[in-house]
């Protein structure tokens, strides 16, 4: 039995879900600020930092799908913070907004006692956008985007594959 399915650990899972909901609200504010001013790429950096907190907490309780999804958001946030192409940033904001919606669904599923939530998400269009973004970011290297070592072009693909996307 793991933390997610152990009834005696429900309070810990609920605490995670409540804190994640609060952080999702903060992420939403960052995205709204970016919608209004796509030149404010510091909000993308902030997005990456906040989603990294959710990722760490999700890993600590064994919510691996949420953690991996957050890792994708972190990579996109950090890499896109290095971009000056405003139309691309607008696409990034839309993709991150979609990912935030999916994370909310996953969090609700976890709160309701279902530790496998990707099956409830229609992700085909989202994966297409992630693949497109991955190609746009292939030349951006950034140490804070390291995923178990050096970040390379395959990192986003591997994270998506681990989610079954």
Q: What is the pLDDT of residues 77-96, one digit of tens each?
A: 888 888 888 999 999 999 89
Task: Please tell me what DSSP assigns to residue 142.
Answer: -
Q: How many percent of the chain have pLDDT more than 70?
A: 76
Q: How many percent of the chain have pLDDT more than 90?
A: 39
Distances (CA, A) of 92 to 50, 64, 75, 116, 132: 16, 24, 11, 26, 10
Asked whether 63 and 107 are in contact (CB, 8 A), the reply is no
Instruction: Report the candidate in 48, 118, 49, 46 with the shortest Cα–Cα distance to residue 76.
Output: 48
Q: What's the mean per-residue pLDDT of the chain?
A: 81
CATH class of 7-162: mainly alpha
In the chain, where are the structural domains located?
7-162
Q: What is the pLDDT of residues 18-34, one digit of tens each?
A: 999 999 999 999 999 99
Q: What is the pLDDT of residues 52-62, one digit of tens each?
A: 999 999 999 99
Question: Residue 87 corresponds to which tokens in the numbers above?
Answer: 């139309």
Task: Note the pLDDT of residue 138.
Answer: 73
Q: How far apart are CA 114 and CA 163, in angstroms?
A: 16
What is the value of pTM for the model shown? 0.80
Q: How many alpha carbons fall within 13 Å on the CB side of residue 32?
A: 6
């Amino acid at each position: 039995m793991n933390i997610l399915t152990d009834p005696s650990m429900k309070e810990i899972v609920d605490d995670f879900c409540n804190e994640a909901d609060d952080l999702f609200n903060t992420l939403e504010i960052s995205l709204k600020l970016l919608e209004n001013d796509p030149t404010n790429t510091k909000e993308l950096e902030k997005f990456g930092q906040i989603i990294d907190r959710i990722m760490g907490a999700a890993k600590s309780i064994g919510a691996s799908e949420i953690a991996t999804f957050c890792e994708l958001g972190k990579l996109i946030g950090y890499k896109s913070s290095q971009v000056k192409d405003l139309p691309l940033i607008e696409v990034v904001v839309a993709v991150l907004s979609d990912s935030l919606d999916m994370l909310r669904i996953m969090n609700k599923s976890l709160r309701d006692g279902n530790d496998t939530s990707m099956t409830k998400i229609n992700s085909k269009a989202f994966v297409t956008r992630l693949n497109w973004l991955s190609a746009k970011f292939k030349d951006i290297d950034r140490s804070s985007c390291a995923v178990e070592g050096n970040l390379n072009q395959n990192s986003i693909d591997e994270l998506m594959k681990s989610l079954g996307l």
